[in-house]
Amino acid sequence: MGNDRYDVVVVGAGPAGSSAALLMANNNLSVAMLERGPYPGSKNMSGGTIASMPFQEILPEYWNIDGIPLERKIVSDELWMLDNDSAVKMGFSGKKFGYAPYNKFSILRYKFDKWYADQAVAAGAKLFNNCLAIDLVYHKTGLLSKKVDGVVLEGGDIIHADLVVLAEGSSAALTQKIGLRQRLNPADMTLYVKEVLELPSGKIEERFSLEGDEGAVIGMVGYPTSPAIGKGGIWTNKDSLSIVVGAYLNQIVNKGLNPLQLMERFKSHPMIKKLIEGAKPIKYLAHTIPKGGFKKIPTLVDDGVIVVGDAAEMISGRRGIDLAMITGKFAAEAAAQACALDDYSRETLSSYVKRIKGSFFYENMRKGKNVEEYFNTYQDSDFLITKAMNDLAFKYFKQDLENNKIRLRKMIEELKNMQPLQKTGKDLLYGLQNWEVW
């Protein structure tokens, strides 16, 4: 391995890394892709959907590819604001999302990531499993100058390359080591735990009002993680359910919360319990996700280096996998340009940054740049707004002997007594941004 040379080495074989490797290989670049686990997806976790339109930018009509491990086409997407025994629900269910080009599919990462990396290999990339890059290697070009010449592996082997694409995921150890990203503190990270529960397909379709290979996603906020700011959710797969719950890491630690206990509390909620009744746990995972947001986006390029995906803090609300894929695509385009010019300088690679800043998700991230700071300042805001909405909904739908005018006045007074209306409005605004509703 020490004598191997490639045009590009991609550190990480998740959605960002595989997207970059696949497209670069399609452009006749020689690519080495490094996976630190035994196979791509073995160490990855997410709720579990891919958005169709971004994925089509890489693999048009991907749903027709033989063997692609898609679970269910999502036709129902909901957000539930939970109190301890109730829920205010919003969402959309429609058959339109059940037809090509679809909206999104549920996936299981340990299946999908492996398949996706195999597509890059089929295009010509070379995959190395159980392979951890620990540093960059440089070639001296002068008395005080040097250029990137690949990566050093754990154990001392070297893979030489003109360009290194860092797709390491949330840990981003190498990205931090070379000074492109600051070490994240617990306030900039969320910790999620996930269970995959085996359940017959017929029961899934019955409980979630689905037909055939239709699927549903339910995001949940409020009670599942209170008193910390976080989220929970259920994703339907072919014959299993993925359930996830998590919150800001600093709030979990400071408030003495146990992620396993959060999961058990989530599963015991009366609105959740009936959906998962009789399901058998078959897989358990835990994962950190960077949530520093727009203000913590690292330096994205340097001489001979591009940072993509979670390592680049490319997370917007509930969207992560599709943004990782798009950053991989942008990196591949910048790499092709650099290779054609035989120029891997920061200036040439800055075309990647221009693509990021011109993307749809960059503006979303910019608009929500204060969300993380707000939630770490007002750590009860998520709980308060969801509790208020449940209390108000209960009073609104309750059939009593009061006229509507009196009932509305009482509801407004109750809101005022909880906290100033201006603060409630802010809680709702930032909540909608965090939940990726607005």
- Residues 93-103 pLDDT 10s: 999 999 999 99
Average pLDDT, the chain: 92
Q: Give the pLDDT mean for 169-189.
A: 91
One-letter amino acid of 279: A
- Residues 117-133 pLDDT 10s: 999 999 999 999 999 99
By the 10 Å C-beta count (0-12 exposed, 13-18 middle, 19+ buried), 330 is classed as buried
Q: Give the pLDDT mean for 212-233.
A: 92
pLDDT at 62 (0 to 100):
97
pLDDT at 385 (0 to 100):
87
List the structure tokens of 31: 């690519």
Asked if the domains at 5-70+107-184+293-357 and 186-290 fall in one CATH topology, the answer is: no
Q: How confident is the model at residue 244 (pLDDT cuts 50, 70, 90)?
A: very high
**Which comes out higher in pLDDT, residue 297 or 2?**
297
The residues spanned by each domain of the chain are 5-70+107-184+293-357, 186-290, 378-434
CATH 3.30.9.90 fits 186-290, yes or no: yes
pLDDT at 438 (0 to 100):
46
Q: Are strands 301-302 and 305-307 parallel, antiparallel or unpaired?
A: antiparallel
DSSP 378-424: STTHHHHHHHHHHHHHHHHH---SS-HHHHHHHHHHHHHHHS-HHHH
List residues bridging with 74 in a β-sheet.
215
- Rounded-to-5 percentages of helix, strand, coil across the chain: 40, 25, 35
List the structure tokens of 298: 């690292």
From residue 224, how far is each of 230, 249, 267, 293, 418 by CA, in Å? Answer: 8, 15, 9, 23, 21
**Which CATH code, of 3.40.50.20, 3.50.50.60, 1.10.10.60, 3.30.465.10, is assigned to 5-70+107-184+293-357?**
3.50.50.60
- Residues 57-98 pLDDT 10s: 999 999 999 999 999 999 999 999 999 999 999 999 999 999
